[in-house]
Amino acid sequence: MSEANDQRAALSNKTAELAVAGSTFALGAIVVFDSWRLGAKWMADGPQTGYFPFYVGLIICIASVVNFVGALRAGDKDSAFVEVGQLKLVLSVLVPTSVYVVLVGFLGIYVPSIVYIAFFMLWLGKYAWWKAALVSVGTNVFFYCVFEIWFQVPLPKGVVESLLGLD
Protein backbone atom coordinates (compact mmCIF):
# COMPACT_ATOMS: atom_id res chain seq x y z
CA MET A 1 0.00 0.00 0.00
CA SER A 2 1.67 3.17 -1.17
CA GLU A 3 -0.71 5.31 0.88
CA ALA A 4 0.98 4.08 4.03
CA ASN A 5 4.08 6.01 3.01
CA ASP A 6 2.55 9.40 3.62
CA GLN A 7 4.27 10.21 6.88
CA ARG A 8 2.96 13.66 7.63
CA ALA A 9 1.29 13.82 11.02
CA ALA A 10 -2.48 13.87 10.74
CA LEU A 11 -2.79 14.55 14.43
CA SER A 12 -0.09 15.29 16.96
CA ASN A 13 0.28 13.19 20.06
CA LYS A 14 -0.35 16.20 22.24
CA THR A 15 -3.66 17.01 20.58
CA ALA A 16 -4.78 13.41 20.95
CA GLU A 17 -3.80 13.32 24.64
CA LEU A 18 -5.66 16.56 25.30
CA ALA A 19 -8.74 15.41 23.39
CA VAL A 20 -8.92 12.08 25.22
CA ALA A 21 -8.35 13.67 28.64
CA GLY A 22 -11.06 16.21 27.81
CA SER A 23 -13.49 13.47 26.79
CA THR A 24 -12.87 11.39 29.89
CA PHE A 25 -13.44 14.52 31.99
CA ALA A 26 -16.78 15.07 30.24
CA LEU A 27 -17.78 11.45 30.87
CA GLY A 28 -16.79 11.79 34.52
CA ALA A 29 -18.84 14.96 34.77
CA ILE A 30 -21.89 13.17 33.35
CA VAL A 31 -21.48 10.43 35.95
CA VAL A 32 -21.13 12.95 38.77
CA PHE A 33 -24.14 14.90 37.53
CA ASP A 34 -26.43 11.90 37.22
CA SER A 35 -25.33 10.42 40.53
CA TRP A 36 -25.99 13.70 42.27
CA ARG A 37 -29.44 13.82 40.68
CA LEU A 38 -30.18 10.35 42.07
CA GLY A 39 -28.79 11.19 45.46
CA ALA A 40 -25.23 10.52 46.48
CA LYS A 41 -25.61 11.09 50.16
CA TRP A 42 -26.02 8.96 53.20
CA MET A 43 -29.59 8.20 54.25
CA ALA A 44 -31.00 6.49 57.29
CA ASP A 45 -31.17 3.21 55.38
CA GLY A 46 -27.63 3.39 54.08
CA PRO A 47 -25.91 4.81 51.03
CA GLN A 48 -28.12 6.18 48.27
CA THR A 49 -28.06 4.85 44.73
CA GLY A 50 -25.65 7.46 43.47
CA TYR A 51 -23.24 7.18 46.38
CA PHE A 52 -20.67 4.86 44.80
CA PRO A 53 -20.80 6.16 41.18
CA PHE A 54 -20.57 9.74 42.45
CA TYR A 55 -17.09 9.16 43.78
CA VAL A 56 -16.15 7.09 40.73
CA GLY A 57 -17.12 10.05 38.54
CA LEU A 58 -15.28 12.46 40.79
CA ILE A 59 -12.08 10.41 40.54
CA ILE A 60 -12.43 10.27 36.74
CA CYS A 61 -12.68 14.07 36.63
CA ILE A 62 -9.69 14.65 38.92
CA ALA A 63 -7.49 12.09 37.14
CA SER A 64 -8.51 13.53 33.75
CA VAL A 65 -7.41 16.98 34.90
CA VAL A 66 -4.05 15.53 35.93
CA ASN A 67 -3.68 13.85 32.53
CA PHE A 68 -4.74 17.03 30.74
CA VAL A 69 -2.20 19.14 32.61
CA GLY A 70 0.43 16.44 32.10
CA ALA A 71 -0.15 16.54 28.34
CA LEU A 72 -0.01 20.34 28.32
CA ARG A 73 3.26 20.39 30.22
CA ALA A 74 4.82 17.62 28.13
CA GLY A 75 6.19 20.37 25.89
CA ASP A 76 5.69 20.59 22.17
CA LYS A 77 7.30 17.40 21.02
CA ASP A 78 5.64 17.12 17.63
CA SER A 79 5.51 13.36 17.57
CA ALA A 80 2.69 12.15 15.37
CA PHE A 81 -0.22 10.37 16.98
CA VAL A 82 -1.16 9.03 13.59
CA GLU A 83 0.34 9.70 10.17
CA VAL A 84 -1.81 10.69 7.23
CA GLY A 85 -1.15 7.41 5.43
CA GLN A 86 -1.96 5.38 8.52
CA LEU A 87 -5.11 7.35 9.16
CA LYS A 88 -6.29 6.65 5.60
CA LEU A 89 -5.79 2.92 6.13
CA VAL A 90 -7.56 3.00 9.48
CA LEU A 91 -10.47 4.97 8.07
CA SER A 92 -10.68 2.69 5.05
CA VAL A 93 -11.65 -0.03 7.50
CA LEU A 94 -13.49 2.01 10.13
CA VAL A 95 -15.90 3.71 7.71
CA PRO A 96 -17.08 0.53 5.95
CA THR A 97 -17.32 -1.18 9.34
CA SER A 98 -19.56 1.58 10.69
CA VAL A 99 -21.79 1.33 7.61
CA TYR A 100 -21.80 -2.43 8.04
CA VAL A 101 -23.03 -2.41 11.64
CA VAL A 102 -25.76 0.09 10.81
CA LEU A 103 -26.89 -2.19 7.98
CA VAL A 104 -26.90 -5.14 10.39
CA GLY A 105 -29.56 -3.26 12.34
CA PHE A 106 -31.82 -3.17 9.28
CA LEU A 107 -31.01 -6.21 7.19
CA GLY A 108 -29.88 -8.81 9.69
CA ILE A 109 -26.40 -10.20 9.84
CA TYR A 110 -26.05 -12.32 6.73
CA VAL A 111 -26.64 -10.00 3.78
CA PRO A 112 -24.50 -7.12 5.13
CA SER A 113 -21.74 -9.60 6.00
CA ILE A 114 -21.65 -10.96 2.45
CA VAL A 115 -21.53 -7.45 1.02
CA TYR A 116 -18.94 -6.33 3.58
CA ILE A 117 -16.48 -9.17 3.01
CA ALA A 118 -16.88 -8.95 -0.77
CA PHE A 119 -16.40 -5.18 -0.67
CA PHE A 120 -13.19 -5.57 1.29
CA MET A 121 -11.77 -8.15 -1.07
CA LEU A 122 -12.69 -6.21 -4.20
CA TRP A 123 -11.70 -2.77 -2.99
CA LEU A 124 -8.70 -3.31 -0.72
CA GLY A 125 -7.54 -6.70 -1.95
CA LYS A 126 -8.28 -6.22 -5.68
CA TYR A 127 -9.47 -9.78 -6.03
CA ALA A 128 -11.45 -11.13 -8.99
CA TRP A 129 -15.20 -10.79 -8.36
CA TRP A 130 -15.81 -14.53 -8.39
CA LYS A 131 -13.23 -15.11 -5.67
CA ALA A 132 -14.82 -12.40 -3.56
CA ALA A 133 -18.26 -13.90 -4.13
CA LEU A 134 -17.05 -17.38 -3.26
CA VAL A 135 -15.34 -16.38 -0.01
CA SER A 136 -18.04 -14.01 1.22
CA VAL A 137 -20.96 -16.36 0.51
CA GLY A 138 -19.01 -19.40 1.69
CA THR A 139 -18.09 -17.81 5.03
CA ASN A 140 -21.68 -16.85 5.70
CA VAL A 141 -23.02 -20.28 4.81
CA PHE A 142 -20.48 -21.64 7.28
CA PHE A 143 -21.62 -19.20 9.99
CA TYR A 144 -25.25 -20.12 9.28
CA CYS A 145 -24.46 -23.79 9.77
CA VAL A 146 -22.43 -23.24 12.95
CA PHE A 147 -24.78 -20.82 14.69
CA GLU A 148 -28.31 -21.61 13.51
CA ILE A 149 -27.99 -25.35 13.01
CA TRP A 150 -25.18 -26.62 15.20
CA PHE A 151 -25.35 -24.38 18.29
CA GLN A 152 -28.94 -23.20 17.71
CA VAL A 153 -28.10 -19.57 18.39
CA PRO A 154 -30.39 -17.42 16.24
CA LEU A 155 -28.68 -14.47 14.55
CA PRO A 156 -30.53 -11.37 13.35
CA LYS A 157 -32.27 -11.77 10.01
CA GLY A 158 -33.95 -9.35 7.66
CA VAL A 159 -36.12 -9.17 4.58
CA VAL A 160 -33.91 -11.31 2.37
CA GLU A 161 -33.84 -14.25 4.76
CA SER A 162 -37.62 -14.24 5.15
CA LEU A 163 -38.00 -14.19 1.35
CA LEU A 164 -35.75 -17.24 1.22
CA GLY A 165 -37.75 -18.82 4.01
CA LEU A 166 -34.75 -19.21 6.30
CA ASP A 167 -36.10 -17.78 9.51
Site for another protein in 50-69 (CB under 8 A): 50-53, 56-57, 59-60, 63-64, 66-67
Q: Does 109 interact with another protein (rule: CB under 8 A)?
A: yes
> For residues 70 and 129, which CB has a smaller minimum distance to another protein in the complex?
70
**Least Å from the CB of residue 163 to another protein:** 20
Q: Are strands 46-47 and 80-83 parallel, antiparallel or unpaired?
A: unpaired
- 10 SS3 class: strand
C-alpha to C-alpha distance for 17 and 23, rounded to whole angstroms:
10
Residue 101 vs residues 11, 31, 72, 95, 112: alpha-carbon distances, Å? 27, 28, 36, 10, 8
- 13 SS3 class: helix
Q: Does 154 interact with another protein (rule: CB under 8 A)?
A: yes
**Bridge partner list, 40:** none
Total count of residues recorded for the chain: 167
Residues that bind another protein in the complex, under the rule CB under 8 A: 1, 4, 13, 16-17, 20-21, 24, 27-28, 30-31, 34-35, 38, 42, 46-47, 49-53, 56-57, 59-60, 63-64, 66-67, 70, 81-82, 86, 89-90, 93-94, 97-98, 100-102, 104-105, 109, 113, 116-117, 119-121, 124-125, 127, 135, 139, 143, 147, 151-156
